[in-house]
Amino acid sequence: RKPMSLQRLLDMHASGDKIAMLTCYDAAFATLLDEAGVDVLLIGDSLGNVLQGQSSTVPVTLEEMVYHTRCVARGRKSAWIIGDLPFDSYQASTAEAWKSAAALVKAGAHMVKLEGGGWTAPVVRYLVERGIPVCAHLGFTPQTVTALGGYKVQGRDEASAALLKKHAQELADAGAQMLVIEMIPAALAAELTQSLAIPVIGIGAGVGCSGQVLVLHDMLDVTPGRRPRFVKNFMQGASSVQDAVRRYVSEVKAQTFPQDDLHGY
Ligand code: KIV
Ligand code: NA
């Protein structure tokens, strides 16, 4: 495969070619996912939950994100690599955000992701102007789960849907070149995807997005305990981990995953 590029991701959004993204935290899975056709590898701060056993992503440090980004970058062949900026690495100032984002880029990330709308637009602009591509993350934002009052679908009422749309447009105007939306109604997600010129990657946001992302351990059915409704177990009926990941990629591309009645809101 040719190395994935920002332009190609923008073209995929424009042409309606679906983007398959999964979280990834180490070199072995980076190679496996890449060879199975995953377009984008996200070193998610969800590693706090799935690798570290923490109850939220809040305790994850920048150093830990740098370490896992390095591991993924070594195993990657052609996928686009996004590194999550963890909690308390970009909130205090634009200068702090720059230092944190640059650390992830030095570790091998092609793009960094940060959570939230409104106050984040100037931060995004600051990073993008200085040469670091940024992915925004709206809807349910795990780093602020306490402030949001728990794991809840976002943008359900008219006022919060309007605010979400406003924030998404502001982030795109500030130069964000991708947007992740988590746990929002499928209709709102489809509307956002249609209205923006950048790829919108959904998780619990319906099939009308430019692509999908899931936490690797969730879709491989490795995560202990209850899983959110938007997760599908791709190991079911699969002959190997490789086969499960290939099925995920082909279902995302064919738009047979997610199914709005099963995995959506
Ligand atoms: O950390 C993560 O895994 C994420 C995805 C769920 C979007 O941010
Ligand atoms: Na994350």
Q: Tokens at residue 113, please?
A: 């992701």
- Give the nearest ligand 1 atom to 180 CA: 7
Q: What is the DSSP letter of 85?
A: P
Q: How far apart are CA 220 and CA 244, in angstroms?
A: 7
Give the pLDDT confidence of 194-232 residue by residue, as tens digits: 999 999 999 999 999 999 999 999 999 999 888 899 999
Catalytic residues: 182
**8 Å CB contact between 193 and 225:** no
- pLDDT > 90? residue 81: yes
Q: What mean pLDDT value characterizes the chain?
A: 97
Q: 60 C-alpha to center of ligand 1: Å?
A: 13
Among 22, 182, 231, name the best residue to mutate to test ligand 1's pocket (greatest count of ligand atoms within 8 A of Cβ): 182
Give the pLDDT confidence of 155-204 residue by residue, as tens digits: 999 999 999 999 999 999 999 999 999 999 999 999 999 999 999 999 99
- pLDDT > 90? residue 260: no
Share of the chain above pLDDT 90, in %: 97
113 in a labelled binding site: yes
- Decide whether any atom of ligand 1 lies within 6 Å of the 141 Cβ: no
pLDDT of residue 225: 85
pLDDT of residue 226: 86
Ligand 1, atom 2, lies closest to the CA of: 44
Q: What is the model's pTM?
A: 0.98
Q: Tokens at residue 163, please?
A: 């605010």
Q: List residues bridging with 80 in a β-sheet.
A: 40
Q: Where are the beta strands (DSSP E) in 116-261?
A: 134-139, 178-182, 200-203, 211-214
Give the pLDDT confidence of 49-58 residue by residue, as tens digits: 999 999 999 9
pLDDT of residue 85: 99
Among 45, 65, 138, 263, name the best residue to mutate to test ligand 1's pocket (greatest count of ligand atoms within 8 A of Cβ): 45
Q: 45 C-alpha to center of ligand 2: Å?
A: 4
Q: How far apart are CA 203 and CA 147, in angstroms?
A: 20
Q: Tokens at residue 226, please?
A: 């209850």
**8 Å CB contact between 217 and 50:** yes
Q: How far apart are CA 216 and CA 159, in angstroms?
A: 33
* DSSP structure string for 1-13: -PPP-HHHHHHHH
Domains of the chain and CATH, by start: 6-263 (3.20.20.60)
Could you tell me the pLDDT band of residue 261, with boundaries at 50, 70 and 90? confident
Ligand 1, atom 5, lies closest to the CA of: 44
68-93 burial, b at 16+ Cβ within 10 Å, e below that, comes to bbbbbbebbeebbbbbbbbbebbbee
